[in-house]
Homo-oligomer: A and B are copies of this chain.
Amino acid sequence: MGKGDETRHAILTSALDLSSEVGLQGLTFGVLAKLTGMSKSGLYAHFDSKEHLQCQVLDSAASRFVDVVLAPALKRPRGLPRLQVLFEHWLDWETNEFSGGCVFMAAATEFDDRAGVVRDRLVSHLDDMLGAIARGARIAVAEGHFRSDLDDEQFAYELWGVLLSFHHYGRLLGRPKAHARARRAFEHLLETSRPEIPS
């Protein structure tokens, strides 16, 4: 990593933390300059617009998501074991990865009514995440862990709901049983997905 890349990486790490606290909309060059000790013009040299910075922050979060959630799952045996590890790491991601909560969750509400490049980038990353879940479900079908007529995109929709509900229960509502509820909901989803006669 060259010096320029290192600086850029350090800025993006700060920007990601800040976005987690104040949302992508609250991510301004002014606040980021104070946080990193750089000048605003120095920041503009790396990211030529707020939208560009916001997109890079989302890319940076997506890359961290791959490292923290997807990669550990992909090291597990195909099918159900992989999905179970994916789910557990996802709960960790929601709980511990960012001080102010998952950047994607925050951005989802911020940008659902704003057309533009940032929304497009966000949608693209969320599509990737949902695609990873659906792919995981397809593999579980191929391995005989899930029933052969399972709708993998429906599985992704439902797992997404389990994760969103966890985000609400844990972070906003402060329910002590958030983890237990999420795990039980996941178990229910697995029950409706299993073959009629266990293989």
Contact = CB atoms under 8 A, between A and B. Distances in A.
Interface in A95-129: 100-101, 105-106, 108-113, 119, 122-123, 126-127
Contact-residue size bin, chain A (C-beta under 8 Å from the other chain): 35 or more
Interface in A120-141: 122-123, 126-127, 130
A185 B70 CA distance: 25
Number of copies: 2
A108 B173 CA distance: 9
A171 interface: yes
Given A113-B101, A191-B192, A192-B192, A158 B164 contact: no
A56 to B, nearest CB: 20
Q: Which 6 A-B pairs have the closest CB atoms?
A: A161-B161, A161-B165, A164-B164, A109-B109, A112-B172, A157-B181
Given A23-B109, A157-B185, A164-B168, 17 more contacts: A101-B113, A108-B168, A111-B172, A112-B172, A126-B173, A130-B173, A153-B181, A154-B184, A157-B165, A157-B169, A157-B181, A158-B165, A158-B185, A160-B161, A161-B162, A164-B165, A188-B189
